[in-house]
Every structure is written in C-alpha cells, then in structure tokens.
C-alpha cells in the first residue's frame, strides 16, 4: 500500500481503504512504493473551506442547483484526498456579529474631537490592503477591527476544530476556496495568525476558477458528498447565505441591528437607493423628517477613491460604508466568472446572481452553533478571547511588506 499523506512524487497515486476515507484523523500507511519507511511525523489532515460566493459559480458552471454543486465540489475534493470540506458562512456569522457590536459602540462614542465614524468594513482583503499600504491615517482608524471571514475561519479550523480532533494546529493544512485573488494576499500576511500557538490560519488559497480547471481536467471517479461541519459527525444539509445581493451583506445586517439597538426601530426591508452609479448605493433610516442613520455601499476602486477623498476633506455624511474592491461585489471576483481573455463573463455572472439570490438567508443571530461557540470556544461574548480571536489591528504604510507581496 502506498503512503497516502506524503507529497513525494512516487506517492502521488494514492490508494485508500474505506476506513482511511472516513477517518477523523490521518491514518498512516506502512511504506512508500520503493519500500522506504514513511515519516509519519509529516502527515497532515487536509481541510478545505469554501466561501459562499464561490458556490453559485460552480452551480452555474456545471448547471446544478447550489446544493448539488456543493456536494459535487465536496465529493471532488475528497476524491483528491481532502479529509474535511467546510462552508465559511459560520465564520462570516462571527465577523458580522462583531461588526454590529463595534458599530453601535462607535456610534455612541462618536464626537467631533475624536471621530469614530464612519465605520468602514474590513472583510475585503483588497480594500484593507490598499488602506494599509497606501492610505494609512486618517483612513485606517475608521476600519472595523472585526477580522474577515477568512481570518476567523482559520482560527476556527486551526484552534477550535484542531482541539476537538486532538490535533496540533500544524498537523492541519487548511485551504480556502475563494472568488478573488486578493484572498491569497490576505493569507500571506504575517499577522494573520490564529490564537492557537502561532499557527497560520490559512495555508493556501485557490480561486473558484482554479478549482474548476482541476475538476475539468480530472479523470477521477467522483461520488457526491455533503459538506462537513466543525462539530464532529454532523453534516451541512442545506446551503445558507447572508442578506447581501452579491456579498456577505454587512450593510443590511448592521443597519437592521443598529436601527433596533440605537433607535428601537424594526427594519423589515432594507431599501437601497442608487446614487452616482450602480456600485454606489445609499440606505437611510429616517423618523419625523430626521435622518437617524445613513449607510452606503461602495464597490470598485472608482467609488472607493471618491469615499476616501471626501473622508479626508471631512465632508463625508455617512455613518457606515460597506467597501468592496471588486465592482459588482464578491460574486464578480476576478478568480471566477471570467472569459479566457480575462473579461467578465456577463451571461454567467447574471446566472450566478440569480442562483445566489435564491439561496435562503440565515441571520447570524439565529445560529445556535455560533452561540454555542461563543460559550465553548471563546468563554462568552465579551471575553478577552473574543478580542484575541475575532479582532485585529491595522498597520500603516510604513509597515514592511512581505517579500511576496505586491506593490500598490
């Protein structure tokens, strides 16, 4: 029997028993093909986490429902030897909930001498990288300190899940499947470390398009499989999303929470008003002719530059801005829905938007698993562990770039 877990070239063709296929930890095989004893200390448990904005791409590409697409993707990855395939929606739950709490705190503390508003989202690595590397102060103090879903998923896998499986974090190789290339840069950041003894949360990022190329070129026999969860033998039965047209919907979730928490107003439907272009939209909460909350969504660098210019001039009227580097939002990430010549595949993108809209919405507050994790993993919703695992700090332009980083 060949060694399943080594990356040596002569062991690239694998054979696995049923027990190995379903094992919660890696099962060592006795030897390499040439009889050389395998070094079991180098074995890894392979875990892949899939962003929810990637699934509509696979569904549209292979003409499947989003649930069937998730099962096909999971089955393919496991045919390659991956042990666990997760959905990052639970990580976005944490990021949104922490962003909600931070906005309410900033709103209450805001004053002209020490402005804490507007709060700018921090989930998009392309935008955050630009803010850190180029803009610096006075923009970075406005960035929400909540970690991105990718960063939080790294902590969940390398800390919480690793401890459940009795594994050290360095025994897990964690891959993210994402719609954009900027997620690769995020994984390279030296400060993107989990709370679990300094292990990097994400070891590798592959775009949806790269995975699709692998699937199209593969001749492996694939059996569909349900997505795994972080909670033992439980499986993800249905794909869920957050309330955003093409993203995780930070604006909608934070707007509803702030309206209720600050003004005791229940907002059923969030109404967007398009302003200068389709990628700059406004949402307001008004009462008796007074604007209580003014939120905006700014997608694409043209709109980002306008936001930054007005912010620097002190003429920015918004309390909160959802900022995304990609025009059209996360579904339009450059790692998917592209033609061979690098242009946007508009027909495919339109199909993806319809698929994404049809996915049922789950509010982060309603997730029992998230509430359990706050208690079991983080010792409560306001503990020091929450700050350590779910929040970050930002560097200015003077911070030395990683040797593999790009220059803005």
pLDDT at 366 over 50: yes
Helix (H, G, I), strand (E, B) or coil at 359: coil
Q: Is 25 part of a structural domain of the chain?
A: no
Task: List, for residues 118-143, the tens digit of each pLDDT value.
Answer: 999 999 999 999 999 899 988 999 99
Q: Is 3 part of a structural domain of the chain?
A: no
Q: Do 84 and 98 reside in the same domain of the chain?
A: no
The per-residue pLDDT for 194 is 42
- The pTM score is 0.86
Q: Do 134 and 199 reside in the same domain of the chain?
A: no
Distance between CA atoms of residues 196 and 200, nearest Å: 9
Q: Is 234 part of a structural domain of the chain?
A: no
Number of domains within the chain = 2
Q: Where are the alpha helices (DSSP H) in 237-326?
A: 250-263, 301-312
Q: Do 50 and 180 reside in the same domain of the chain?
A: yes
Q: Is 28 part of a structural domain of the chain?
A: no
The per-residue pLDDT for 37 is 65
Q: Do 179 and 112 reside in the same domain of the chain?
A: no
Distance between CA atoms of residues 330 and 124, nearest Å: 9
Q: Is 227 part of a structural domain of the chain?
A: no
CA-nearest of 333, 303, 321 to 150 is 333
pLDDT at 389 over 90: yes
**What would you measure as the largest C-alpha separation in the chain, in angstroms?**
81
Q: Do 358 and 257 reside in the same domain of the chain?
A: yes
CATH code of 162's domain: 3.40.50.1780
Q: Do 169 and 137 reside in the same domain of the chain?
A: no
Q: Is 138 part of a structural domain of the chain?
A: yes
Q: Do 331 and 261 reside in the same domain of the chain?
A: yes
Q: Is 249 part of a structural domain of the chain?
A: yes
Q: Is 7 part of a structural domain of the chain?
A: no
| Residue 247: how many other CB atoms lie within 10 Å | 29
Range of the domain at 348: 93-147+242-388
Q: Do 74 and 156 reside in the same domain of the chain?
A: yes
CATH code of 363's domain: 3.40.950.10
What is the per-residue DSSP string for 165-234? TT--GGGEEEEEEESSTHHHHHHH-TT-B-TTTT-BS-SEEEEHHHHHHHHHH--------PEE-SSTT-
Task: List, for residues 81-113, the tens digit of each pLDDT value.
Answer: 999 999 999 999 999 999 999 999 999 998 777
Produce one character per residue of 91-109: b if its CB has 16 or more CB atoms within 10 Å, e if not: bbbbbbbbbbbbbbebbee
């Amino acid at each position: 029997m060949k060694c399943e877990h080594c990356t040596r070239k002569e062991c690239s063709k694998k054979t696995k028993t049923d027990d190995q296929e379903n094992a919660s930890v890696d099962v060592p095989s006795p030897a390499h093909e040439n009889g050389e004893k395998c070094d079991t200390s180098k074995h890894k448990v392979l875990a892949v986490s899939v962003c929810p904005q990637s699934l509509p791409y696979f569904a549209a590409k292979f003409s499947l429902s989003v649930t069937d697409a998730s099962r096909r993707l999971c089955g393919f990855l496991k045919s390659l030897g991956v042990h666990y395939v997760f959905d990052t929606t639970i990580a976005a739950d944490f990021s949104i909930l922490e962003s909600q709490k931070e906005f309410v705190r900033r709103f209450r503390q805001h004053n002209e001498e020490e402005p804490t508003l507007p709060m700018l989202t921090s989930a998009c690595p392309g935008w955050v990288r630009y803010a850190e590397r180029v803009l610096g102060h006075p923009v970075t103090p406005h960035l929400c300190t909540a970690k991105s879903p990718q960063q939080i998923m790294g902590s969940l896998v390398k800390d919480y899940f690793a401890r459940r499986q009795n594994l050290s974090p360095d025994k897990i190789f964690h891959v993210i499947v994402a719609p954009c290339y900027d997620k690769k840069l995020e994984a390279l950041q030296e400060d993107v470390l989990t709370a679990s003894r300094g292990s990097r949360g994400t070891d590798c990022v592959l775009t949806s398009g790269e995975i699709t190329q692998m699937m199209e070129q593969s001749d492996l026999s694939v059996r569909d499989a349900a997505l795994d969860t972080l909670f033992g033998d439980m499986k993800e039965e249905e794909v869920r999303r957050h309330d955003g047209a093409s993203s995780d919907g930070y604006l909608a979730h934070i707007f509803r929470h702030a309206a209720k928490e600050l003004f005791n107003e229940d907002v059923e439907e969030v109404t967007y008003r398009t302003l200068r272009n389709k990628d700059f939209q406004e949402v307001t909460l008004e009462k008796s002719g007074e604007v209580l909350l003014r939120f905006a969504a700014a997608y694409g660098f043209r709109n980002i530059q306008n936001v930054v210019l007005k912010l620097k001039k002190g003429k920015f009227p918004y309390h909160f801005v959802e900022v995304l580097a990609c025009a059209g939002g996360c579904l339009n990430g450059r790692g998917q829905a592209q033609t061979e010549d690098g242009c946007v595949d508009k027909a495919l993108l339109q199909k993806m938007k319809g698929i994404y809209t049809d996915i049922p919405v789950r509010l982060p507050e309603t997730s029992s698993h998230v509430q359990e994790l706050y208690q079991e993993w983080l010792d409560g919703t306001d503990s020091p562990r929450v700050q350590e695992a779910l929040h970050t700090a930002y560097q200015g332009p003077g911070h030395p770039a990683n040797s593999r980083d790009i220059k803005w």
